[in-house]
Amino acid sequence: MMNLKDKFKSILPYSISFRMVASISSIVLVVMVVSSVFTYFYFGKVLKEENLRKDYQVLKEDAQYLEMVFQEATTVAQNMLFDEQIQMFSRQADNDYFEIENIAEVMTRYTSIRHAIHSVLLQCQQVSVWNIFPFDSSAQEAVNQQAFYGFSKPYTIQYGNSQQQLIGYRSSIHDLNNPQAILGELTIQLDVAQLASLVHSWSQPENEISLVDKDSVLIASQSGINEEYLSMVDCEQLFHQGMLTVTKGTLLAVPIQSTPYVLLTYRSNEALQRKAWLLIPFFTMTTCLLLLLLFLLLYERIHALTQPIRTLQEGMVQFADGDMNVRLQIDSHDEMELLGNNFNQMVSDIDALMQKSIEDEKMKKKIKFDMMISKIHPHFIYNTLNSIIVMARKAGNDDVIHMVRSLILILQDSMSVHDDLLVDTLQRECSVIEAYVTIQNYRYKDKISLNFDIESDLERVKIAKNVLQPLVENAIFHGIVPKNGQGTIDVSVKRIGKKLCVQVHDDGVGMDQALVASIRQGSVMLKQQRQKHGDSVHSIALINVLERLEFLYGESLEFDVTSEANHGTCFTICFAYEEEKDNEI
């Protein structure tokens, strides 16, 4: 059966402070996780928008750089339009071979250090000069097919075995002397391959850049993703707003000033979100650190607050172990201090009640024992006095003396019970039995023979008073007296282990087996048997003997009786004993 201490351990597998900290930390953890998730999504959205703004700003810077390239072409064109040699060449009606070569060199000098400018085409009414191949008409044919002024769409020039994709910037040559007169046209041709190389150098795997206009694509993205999404949207709206949401991403567009061209890039939501994922380790680490700090602070504080509870629990464990001197000192100035004081008062009250209960139980058992002894005295004295009356009639003075002395010894021994002497030595008890048998032999003419078999070192062993004498009395009156002829009673005492075993055996007429069965089941059953059959003095001594033995020796008592018709009865009693100390109630 689980004791109180084990129950405490079973219901308190963890300390209250630990469970309080764990509960509060769990709640805080849930709150922090939920708040972190909402914060992550909020800041993720903000970070996505911020990344879009940054990407748009970078694209704008690239557009400004590209704008400088195109402005360089317009600046070169303006400088060439005001060049005196070009003005003079444009006014002449007939320019010879050398003049054509010379003007081609002039145009080459203007464009030689401009990497993006491929070539220049000068067209007058009289002649067309291409500075790379002055007498080749390929450039003139390609430019005239576009029919444009300002910047053109890409076109291809075929010369020899080579093809070159170009963008032209076309302007009129006005006569400086007569601004109303137009002398011809000047076309600055930009190398699309050079521009594509520049644009692609700005591109990244997830941020490809394209150069487009309203109707066509000048420089396509390497994967074609920009053009794919461009075909799904309204270009006018995109170029006007600069940023337009499309499927799974956003298109960014920045116009290049003074040109019809627009820099375009597509930013996927996944790429933008990937940057926001950097917030996850941040929020995770922050949550863990805050939770750890909170746990340490809570544990320290709650540990201090729950110290009175631990003190109370330890005191209850000591009390459960039987320590009635435990007292608690709790100075928390709250309910726990009140509980501690009540606990101390409870322990004191229980200790006092236990002491009072022990004293009451001692008194109760003493009174009960005295009452049991008092039941034996009248019966025994009655029989003894009858024996004295019989012997007195015979006028045998010596026999009367012996009987009276034996009676005095027995009465003295009986009276000692009322002086709280509940146990006596085995030697003393045997002397009482001898005196009793002496008296009975006077009555029944030496019909009884008494034998002792006691180990010599057991004579000083103490046993319950007046237990053996009733058994001997029972053997005489219910075993030997009804028998024809003499009878023998054997009393033997032996040590078996840590118990003392006493046997009282007679060779009388024996006992009824129903009574034997009742005796074996204890004093309660024997009382019921007596009440049922109305037996008078036959069983009262046995009942009192059993009650005293059960009362004095408790669980250590072993009591048995065997009986056979015309062969006698044997009572066996085994119980724990002490040689030095008296048994106390």
Say what the pLDDT of residue 418 is. Answer: 44
Write out 356-409 in H/E/C secondary structure: HHHHHHHHHHHHHHHHHHHHHHHHHHHHHHHHHHHHHHHCCHHHHHHHHHHHHH
CA distances from 510 to 441, 493, 498, 514 (A): 20, 22, 31, 12
CA distance linking residue 162 with residue 540, whole number of Å = 143
**Angle, CA of 208, 209 and 211, to the nearest 5°:** 150
CA distance linking residue 154 with residue 60, whole number of Å = 23
Yes or no: say if 266 and 226 are a contact pair by the CB < 8 Å rule: yes
Yes or no: say if 120 and 113 are a contact pair by the CB < 8 Å rule: no
How would you list the strands of the sheet with 487-496, edge to edge?
Answer: 448-454, 487-496, 499-506, 568-576, 558-564
Q: Which residue has the tokens 């509960």?
A: 23
DSSP 448-494: EEEEEEE-GGGTT-EEETTSHHHHHHHHIIIIITTSSS-EEEEEEEE
Say what the pLDDT of residue 572 is. Answer: 94
Yes or no: say if 526 and 500 are a contact pair by the CB < 8 Å rule: no
The residue ranges of every structural domain in the chain are 48-205, 314-356, 357-576
**Domain 357-576 fold:** Heat Shock Protein 90 (3.30.565)
CA distance linking residue 358 with residue 360, whole number of Å = 5
CA distance linking residue 194 with residue 68, whole number of Å = 14
Yes or no: say if 198 and 69 are a contact pair by the CB < 8 Å rule: yes
The secondary element (H helix, E strand) that includes residue 558 is: strand 558-564
Q: Which residue has the tokens 């930013």?
A: 267
Distance between alpha carbon 5 and the CA centroid of its chain, in Å? 24
Say what the pLDDT of residue 328 is. Answer: 84
Q: Which two tokens stand for residue 305?
A: 């607050």
Q: Which residue has the tokens 């544990």?
A: 299
Which CATH number does the domain 48-205 belong to among 3.30.450.220, 1.10.1740.10, 3.90.25.10, 3.10.620.30?
3.30.450.220
Give the three-state DSSP class for 234.
Answer: coil
> Other C-beta atoms within 10 Å of 384: how many?
20
Q: Which two tokens stand for residue 312?
A: 């109370």
Say what the pLDDT of residue 419 is. Answer: 45
Name the burial class of residue 71, with classes exposed (0-12), middle (13-18) and buried (19+) by CB atoms within 10 angstroms of its CB.
Answer: middle
> Other C-beta atoms within 10 Å of 392: how many?
13
How would you list the strands of the sheet with 262-268, edge to edge?
Answer: 217-219, 209-212, 262-268, 249-255, 243-246
Q: Which residue has the tokens 């002792």?
A: 452
Q: Which residues contact 317 (CB under 8 A, 6 or more apart)?
A: 5, 8
| Tens of pLDDT, residues 448-476 | 999 999 987 888 888 888 888 888 988 89
Say what the pLDDT of residue 583 is. Answer: 44
Q: Which residues contact 120 (CB under 8 A, 6 or more apart)?
A: 80, 107, 108, 110, 111, 130, 131, 186, 187, 188, 189
Q: What is the pLDDT along the chain (585 residues), one digit of tens a residue?
A: 455 555 545 544 456 666 676 777 778 777 777 776 777 676 667 777 888 888 889 999 999 998 998 998 899 999 999 999 988 888 887 778 888 899 899 998 888 877 789 899 999 877 889 988 888 888 888 888 877 788 888 888 887 788 888 999 999 999 888 888 898 999 999 999 888 888 888 888 778 899 998 888 889 988 888 888 888 888 888 888 888 888 888 999 999 988 889 999 998 888 777 766 666 677 678 778 887 887 787 777 777 777 777 787 788 888 888 888 888 888 877 777 788 888 888 888 888 888 888 877 776 666 566 655 555 555 556 566 566 666 666 656 566 666 666 766 676 666 554 444 577 888 888 998 988 888 888 888 888 999 999 987 888 888 888 888 888 988 898 889 998 889 999 999 999 888 899 999 999 999 888 888 878 877 666 666 656 655 544 566 777 788 778 877 888 888 899 999 888 999 999 988 776 544 443
| Tens of pLDDT, residues 199-254 | 888 888 778 899 998 888 889 988 888 888 888 888 888 888 888 888 888 999 99
Say what the pLDDT of residue 120 is. Answer: 93
CA distance linking residue 218 with residue 227, whole number of Å = 11
> Other C-beta atoms within 10 Å of 278: how many?
10
CA distances from 12 to 15, 23, 313, 318 (A): 6, 16, 10, 15
CA distance linking residue 323 with residue 321, whole number of Å = 6
CA distance linking residue 367 with residue 146, whole number of Å = 138
Whole-prediction pTM:
0.47
The secondary element (H helix, E strand) that includes residue 212 is: strand 209-212
Q: Which residue has the tokens 């008494």?
A: 450
Angle formed by the axes of helices 426-444 and 468-475, nearest 10° = 20
DSSP 431-445: HHHHHHHHHHHHHHT
